Amino acid sequence: MILETQRLILREMEQADFDDLAQMLQDPEVMYAYEHDFSDADVQEWLDRQRMRYQRYGFGLWAMILKETGEMIGQAGLTMQPHRGSEVLEIGYLLKKRFWHHGYAREAAEGCRQYAFETLKAPKVHSVIKADNYASQRVAASIGMRREDEFIARYYNGDMLHYLYSMENRTGGEDQ
């Protein structure tokens, strides 16, 4: 286990999580921001990339487990993402559609923010969010992030407008 929140456990993904991961990555409604249909090979590549991130950085996107049932309901975690010629520490989250609108993304993002600031001692965290992904923008804002930049990012189907949300690690007793 990497971290625990009131209702969730975040842990490293393993090969046995392939089917749960595929349920998310192969759902066009969940993955609309990527504008790409994910094959089984794409899902395996995504899983392998997370496992490589665990080895390289000590973090990545983790399996989001609902404590009450033990089910993997999504993924959330920290990744290094390109932004204007450098890399930023990003909080990312993605849930199976039937778990949308229950506050799980916010709860996981808050846990990841706390982990980044308290465990990793990161000076700042970010979220890279597609301009029309209003739900993710609301999650980022709800944990204290503010829109800092807008830029074009290239994904599977071309260039897309994105916003960079960010938050600094404030010390000295302020609410983090």
Q: Which candidate, 76, 83, 80, places its Cα nearest to that of 4? A: 76
**Phi, psi for residue 51 in degrees, rounded to 5:** -65, -35
Residue 55 tokens read as 């080895």
Cα separation, 171 vs 176, whole angstroms: 8
What does the pLDDT look like over 89-108, one tens digit per residue?
999 999 999 999 999 999 99
What does the pLDDT look like over 128-165, one tens digit per residue?
999 999 999 999 999 999 999 999 987 766 788 999 99
pTM of the predicted model, to two decimals? Answer: 0.92
Which residues neighbour 114 within 8 Å (Cβ) at sequence distance 6 or greater?
A: 3, 176
CB neighbourhood size of 5 (10 A)? 19
What does the pLDDT look like over 40-90, one tens digit per residue?
999 999 999 999 999 999 999 999 999 999 999 999 999 999 999 999 999
The CA–CA distances, whole Å, from 67 to 41, 70, 97 equal: 29, 5, 18
